[in-house]
Amino acid sequence: MARGVSTEWEDVQVKYGNYLAREKEETNDEIEQKVIEVLENYDPLEKKNIEQLKELEDDEDEEVLRIYEQRRMEELKQLAQRPKFGSVIEFRKQDYVTEVTNAPKDVFVVCHLYQNWSETSNILSRIFDNLAKKHIFVKFCRIVANNCIENYQDSDVPGVIIYQNGKLFKQFIPATHTFGGNKMNWKSNNFIFL
């Protein structure tokens, strides 16, 4: 016979008061529902006194600060491992693979193709000097344009080419119109790509 099930004879005996009725067994769904209600209504602070609550508060604050400190330390360790530059690197054509293609992984390499006679190239060179100091995790380079690319057009000076992981990311050739020509400066929004 199944548990919690009474016979007809037992039901008659209960009716006349000879037996006590069997307690009805709860189903798994009913038990689960009761457990959920208990857990939802459970308040771990309900029976704590003031001293215990203050102690918990201090522990909680310390735990939050400890977790925050660990995260921040991890961030600082990762930053310390990233390659830093901080200045513009002048290179020649034979150094291209070393300076650009083989640059550290995930580092942006911003190359300025210039000519000494170009006023906008000279302005952009000064801007790159300032940007390199501000963005130390970006590798700024410059190379004389026709030394880098044979038959580079004078009308395309200055040029800016950006690489990441040895691949072309973006290019501004000529860069004069994009960055503001003779009026460009390192604080302008034209250099927002950094």
For tokens 């300076």, what's the residue? 99
Domain 88-191 CATH superfamily: Glutaredoxin (3.40.30.10)
Half-sphere exposure of 77 (CA within 13 A, CB side): 6
Supply the pLDDT for residue 53. 66
Cα–Cα distance, 157 to 111 (Å, whole number)? 12
Supply the pLDDT for residue 29. 77
Supply the pLDDT for residue 4. 62
Supply the pLDDT for residue 50. 67
Give mean pLDDT in consecutive 10-residue pieces for the chain, a chain of 194 residues: 68 76 73 77 67 67 71 82 88 87 89 90 88 91 87 87 90 81 63 53
Q: Which two tokens stand for residue 41?
A: 């209504």
Supply the pLDDT for residue 20. 74
In sequence order, which ranges of 47-139 are alpha helices (DSSP H)? 50-81, 96, 119-134
Spatial neighbors of 152 by CB under 8 A, at least 6 apart, are 113, 145, 146, 159
Q: What is the residue extent of each domain of the chain? A: 28-81, 88-191
171: phi then psi, degrees, rounded to nearest 5: -140, 145
